[in-house]
Amino acid sequence: MTKTALITGAASGLGYELSLLLAKDAYNLILIDVDAENLNKVKAEISQAYSCKIDVLVKDLSKPNVAIEIVEDLNDVVIDVLVNNAGFGLFGSFNNTDWDRELDMLYVHIITTTHLTKLLLEGMVQRGSGKILNISSLAAFQPGPLMSIYYASKSYLLSFSEAIANELRDTGVTVTVLCPGPTKTAFQEVVSENATDNKISFNMACPSEVAHYGYKAMQKGKTVAIPGLFNKFLATIHRFVTRKMAVKIIRNIQEMNRE
């Protein structure tokens, strides 16, 4: 029986790469993004390479109750894999950044992701099978001056994912949270209007490789997936320096990379 995967933020970056991997494994796809043009391009590209059924939903995940709209639009299609990938960043001091944009981020990263997970999880548990992949970030492991809301929201995704993964033991449903470091996607272009390229590139990962790592971890039912040995070290930096020093290091990196 053919299974179906739902991927948010599927029009580019890791969402696109994960959609390719799922299509290769013969999953039918429901692709969601706010970017209708690129979303349809992705559908056309994947359709040429694979014979899976692909539906697209153009949705703004920063809007209240959009998770309910998505589930209603599914028309009772069973979702076997949920990939919560959609997200974006914003650079600047909290007292100077735009609240409306930050509120959108909180909805996309936290409210809609949590709500969509809750709505689809019940069916997975009832069926005794299902996989959820939440895309967090290396940013989840420490506070991030100059990107405070982004870092905090990714920390939420890490904590939330680990908690429900524990709750779902022995249900047949697994939750994996992927925490990549800097990755060559369109993310940087959205973060800061004044910086379209990462100035620090020594730890920059290939999105295809990151997606493969996260996909493999999801299929194995691993809870936390951190690609790269250096990133694994950075995730534990608070064990080797004071928390105050760790925060200072993160700020210095942000300033060098984006200002």
Single-letter amino acid, residue 197: D
Res. 231: pLDDT tops 50: yes
pLDDT of 195 reads 46
Region 126-153: mean pLDDT is 96
At which residue do the structure tokens 């047949």 appear? 172
Domain definitions of the chain by residue range: 4-258
Residues 51 and 181: their CA atoms lie apart, in Å, by 33
Q: Give the mean pLDDT of the chain.
A: 91
pLDDT band of residue 196 (cuts 50, 70, 90) is: very low
Residue 56 phi, psi (nearest 5): -120, 145
Q: What is the pLDDT of residues 88-114, one digit of tens each?
A: 999 999 999 999 999 999 999 999 999
Res. 222: pLDDT tops 80: yes
Write down the pTM of the prediction: 0.90
pLDDT of 256 reads 76
Q: What is the pLDDT of residues 57-91, one digit of tens each?
A: 999 999 999 999 999 999 999 999 999 999 999 99
Region 32-47: mean pLDDT is 97
Res. 199: pLDDT tops 70: no
Helix axis angle, 113-127 to 148-167, nearest 10°: 10
Domain 4-258 is of which CATH architecture? 3-Layer(aba) Sandwich (3.40)
pLDDT band of residue 258 (cuts 50, 70, 90) is: low
Residues 160 and 113: their CA atoms lie apart, in Å, by 10
DSSP-assigned beta bridge partners for residue 132: 82, 175
Region 194-218: mean pLDDT is 76
Q: Please check whether residue 210 is in contact with residue 188, taking contact to mean a CB–CB distance below 8 angstroms.
A: no
pLDDT of 238 reads 73
Cβ burial, residue 161 (10 Å; 0-12/13-18/19+):
buried
Tokens, residue 58: 């153009």
Res. 135: pLDDT tops 80: yes
Res. 237: pLDDT tops 80: no
Residues 34 and 249: their CA atoms lie apart, in Å, by 34
pLDDT band of residue 120 (cuts 50, 70, 90) is: very high
